[in-house]
């Protein structure tokens, strides 16, 4: 069988990599190669950068409403191709089709629409110096920028970066994760159909160590927006910072989910199922450390474990599968190594802790049963390191002070969830959690205008709303004496 060969999108055309070489792309739910990805290198990045350089003046001068119109057309095309894109995302990533249909793809079109319209409301600041002078601050596109995105929410996070970059008048050289390239490829076809001018967006597929590294180190790519692991982010910063590039880093997390005894029990229980295991736990915002206040600890644990043990892990295409496959064999092995570590550290597996073979066409896929572990100390490795899979730990606490110590003990600080009916307690937790995002009595409720990002080793900078436009523009203050 001839496998589909994904192509790079450079200078407005779909092209083969200069090397002529391809990598295998695996369907994780089947465990087999199903398409091929360009094994691109620095030559392809050079070509993409040159195409972007050629387009940058004209795109920067294109009126905002015209840029917006083109982006809105792309958003409409995403919606019109929802079924195909959702299926492709599910096959590439292993996530349930219903999740890709309900979340990933609709969110990709809303990212495009949000920034396409947001740019029309983005205005310059002006500061009047009481008759002495007047200042106004121009916001200009940077020029050519690099966007590098991960595999967990492929098109969702890819568009979250490129949309503000394009809307604010930059040309982009982008690299989706090599593990999940398909929807970015389909997206490049939609950009051509929508009439995005050649060179404005260039998508180069391939390995992080070659393609990502060439974007990061290219002297004419002036800003890097990266979402991925903390170790990769650290490496990227070590290359890009001495080149004085603008850097936005959205990195790993080890998010606490804090459940006080006065919570709405049923709501906390239901949402904790999602915040623990949505997308097989492979969302940077998933709560992987569940802290439950002692008076309801046993009740919550029993109800939670009962519900988790009933979740169906299976074919992502089946509408009754709650969890699909994890993204790759390597990732399955990594997650399972943490299950083993948790046991070595004295943890007890309350449910899960095993790989699953759903049989049939999924016999060789990479599936893991959702896992709940008890009996670990807050500072052991299992509770400090990012696992990024369907594995959570659960532990009791007594006081607010104690749970804050536990919650804030990791090197990460991306998101936290708090369950309480007491507004004073909610406010104190919001103020004292070391976290870029705190959800109270909800999880993953996203207003795209709000700042998004982490503190500590979870990242540098904020995405979302005008923060993203501020990142993707350079400011010039003009001071006119009166």
Verify binding: residue 28, ligand NDP, rule CB under 6 A. Answer: no
**x-or-dash pattern for ligand NDP, window 255-284, by CB under 6 A?**
-----------------------------x
Closest distance of CB 391 from ligand NDP, Å: 14
171 is catalytic: no
Q: Which residues partner with 104 through β-bridges?
A: none
User: In the complex with ligand NDP, which residue's Cβ is closer, 168 or 458?
Assistant: 458
Task: Give kind and range of the element (H or E) at residue 69.
Answer: helix 64-80
Q: CA 284 to CA 386: how far, in whole Å?
A: 9
User: In the complex with ligand NDP, which residue's Cβ is closer, 169 or 287?
Assistant: 287
Closest distance of CB 63 from ligand NDP, Å: 31
Q: What is the DSSP-derived secondary structure letter of residue 51?
A: H
**Cα–Cα separations (whole angstroms), residue 427 to 111, 199, 398, 420, 442:** 30, 48, 18, 10, 15
Verify binding: residue 103, ligand NDP, rule CB under 6 A. Answer: no
Q: CA 136 to CA 125: how far, in whole Å?
A: 6
Judged by CB under 6 A, the stretch of 35-43, 114-122, 177-185, 395-403 that binds ligand NDP is: 177-185
Closest distance of CB 283 from ligand NDP, Å: 7
The closest of 479, 461, 477 to 161, measured between CA atoms, is 461
Judged by CB under 6 A, the stretch of 43-51, 120-128, 171-179, 363-371 that binds ligand NDP is: 171-179
Q: CA 87 to CA 106: how far, in whole Å?
A: 13
Closest distance of CB 293 from ligand NDP, Å: 27
Burial group, residue 273, by CB count within 10 angstroms (0-12, 13-18, 19+): middle
Start-to-end CA span in the chain (Å): 74
Compute the Cα dihedral for 397, 403, 405, 409 and give only its sign.
Answer: positive
Of the residues 178, 284, 386, 463, only one is catalytic, namely: 284
Residue 114's CB is within 10 A of a number of other CB atoms, namely: 23
Verify binding: residue 370, ligand NDP, rule CB under 6 A. Answer: no
Closest distance of CB 189 from ligand NDP, Å: 20
Q: Of the candidates 250, 371, 465, 473, which one interacts with ligand NDP according to CB under 6 A?
A: 250
**Cα–Cα separations (whole angstroms), residue 94 to 35, 78, 318, 344:** 15, 20, 12, 29
Closest distance of CB 89 from ligand NDP, Å: 15
Closest distance of CB 35 from ligand NDP, Å: 15
Q: Of the candidates 30, 100, 223, 236, which one interacts with ligand NDP according to CB under 6 A?
A: 236
Closest distance of CB 227 from ligand NDP, Å: 5
| Pair 53, 77: CB distance under 8 Å | no
Backbone angles phi, psi at 259, to 5 degrees: -115, 105
Residue 181's CB is within 10 A of a number of other CB atoms, namely: 25
Verify binding: residue 39, ligand NDP, rule CB under 6 A. Answer: no
Judged by CB under 6 A, the stretch of 57-65, 120-128, 144-152, 337-345 that binds ligand NDP is: 144-152
Verify binding: residue 386, ligand NDP, rule CB under 6 A. Answer: yes
Tell me the site size for ligand NDP, rule CB under 6 A.
Answer: 33
User: Whose structure tokens read 């536990």?
Assistant: 406
263 is catalytic: no
Residue 337 half-sphere exposure toward CB, CA atoms < 13 A: 11
**Cα–Cα separations (whole angstroms), residue 317 to 89, 326, 366, 375, 378:** 11, 14, 15, 36, 37
Judged by CB under 6 A, the stretch of 113-121, 210-218, 352-360, 427-435 that binds ligand NDP is: 210-218
Closest distance of CB 135 from ligand NDP, Å: 34
Q: Which residues partner with 292 through β-bridges?
A: 259, 396
Q: Of the candidates 338, 388, 443, 469, which one interacts with ligand NDP according to CB under 6 A?
A: 388
Q: Of the candidates 213, 223, 368, 404, which one interacts with ligand NDP according to CB under 6 A?
A: 213
Verify binding: residue 169, ligand NDP, rule CB under 6 A. Answer: no
Verify binding: residue 56, ligand NDP, rule CB under 6 A. Answer: no
Verify binding: residue 146, ligand NDP, rule CB under 6 A. Answer: no
Of the residues 89, 250, 386, 463, only one is catalytic, namely: 250
User: In the complex with ligand NDP, which residue's Cβ is closer, 201 or 263?
Assistant: 201
User: C-alpha angle with apex 403: 399 to 409, nearest 5 degrees?
Assistant: 150
| Pair 240, 452: CB distance under 8 Å | no
User: Whose structure tokens read 């969110």?
Assistant: 107
Here the tokens at position 15 are 């092209």
Give me the residues that bind ligand NDP (CB under 6 A), please. 148-152, 157, 175, 177-179, 207-209, 212-213, 216, 227-229, 232, 235-236, 250-253, 284, 386, 388, 414, 454, 458-459
Question: What residues act catalytically?
Answer: 250, 284
């Amino acid at each position: 069988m001839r496998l589909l060969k994904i192509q790079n999108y450079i200078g407005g055309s779909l092209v083969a990599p200069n090397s002529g070489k391809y990598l295998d792309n695996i369907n994780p739910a089947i465990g087999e190669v199903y398409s091929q990805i360009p094994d691109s290198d620095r030559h392809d990045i050079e070509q993409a950068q040159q195409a972007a350089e050629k387009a940058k003046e004209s795109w920067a001068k294109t009126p905002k409403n015209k840029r917006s119109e083109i982006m809105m057309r792309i958003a409409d095309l995403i919606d019109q191709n929802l079924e195909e894109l959702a299926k492709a995302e599910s096959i590439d990533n292993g996530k349930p089709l219903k999740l890709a249909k309900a979340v990933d793809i609709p969110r990709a079109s809303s990212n495009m629409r949000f920034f396409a319209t947001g740019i029309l409301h983005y205005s310059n600041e002006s500061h009047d110096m009481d008759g002495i002078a007047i200042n106004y601050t121009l916001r200009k596109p940077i020029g050519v920028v690099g966007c590098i995105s991960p595999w967990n929410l492929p098109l969702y996070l890819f568009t979250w970066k490129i949309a503000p970059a394009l809307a604010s008048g930059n040309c982009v050289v982008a690299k989706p994760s090599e593990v999940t390239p398909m929807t970015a490829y389909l997206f490049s076809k939609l950009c051509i159909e929508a009439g995005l001018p050649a060179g404005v967006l260039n998508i180069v597929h391939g390995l992080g160590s070659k393609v990502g590294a060439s974007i990061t180190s290219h002297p004419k790519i002036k800003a890097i927006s990266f979402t991925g692991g903390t170790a990769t982010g650290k490496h990227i910063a070590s290359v890009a910072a001495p080149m004085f590039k603008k850097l936005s880093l959205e990195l790993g997390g080890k998010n606490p989910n804090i459940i006080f005894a006065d919570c709405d029990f049923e709501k906390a229980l239901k949402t904790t199922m999602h915040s623990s295991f949505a997308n097989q736990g492979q969302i940077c915002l998933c709560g992987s450390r569940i802290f439950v206040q002692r008076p309801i600890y046993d009740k919550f644990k029993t109800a939670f474990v009962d519900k988790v043990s009933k979740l169906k892990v299976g074919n992502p295409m089946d509408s009754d599968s709650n969890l699909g496959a994890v993204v790759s064999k390597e990732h399955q092995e990594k997650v399972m190594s943490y299950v083993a570590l948790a046991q070595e550290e004295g943890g007890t597996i309350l449910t899960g802790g095993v790989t699953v073979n759903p049989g049939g066409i999924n016999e060789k896929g990479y599936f893991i049963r959702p896992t709940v572990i008890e009996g670990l100390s807050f500072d052991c490795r299992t509770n400090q390191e990012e696992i990024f899979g369907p594995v959570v730990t659960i532990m009791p606490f007594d006081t607010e002070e104690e749970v804050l110590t536990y919650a804030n003990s990791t090197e990460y600080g991306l998101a936290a969830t708090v369950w309480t009916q007491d507004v004073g307690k909610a406010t104190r937790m919001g103020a004292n959690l070391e976290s870029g995002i705190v959800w109270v009595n909800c999880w993953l409720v996203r207003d795209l205008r709000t700042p998004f990002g982490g503190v500590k080793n979870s990242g540098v900078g904020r995405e979302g709303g005008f923060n993203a436009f501020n990142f993707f523009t350079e400011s010039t203050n003009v001071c006119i004496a009166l």
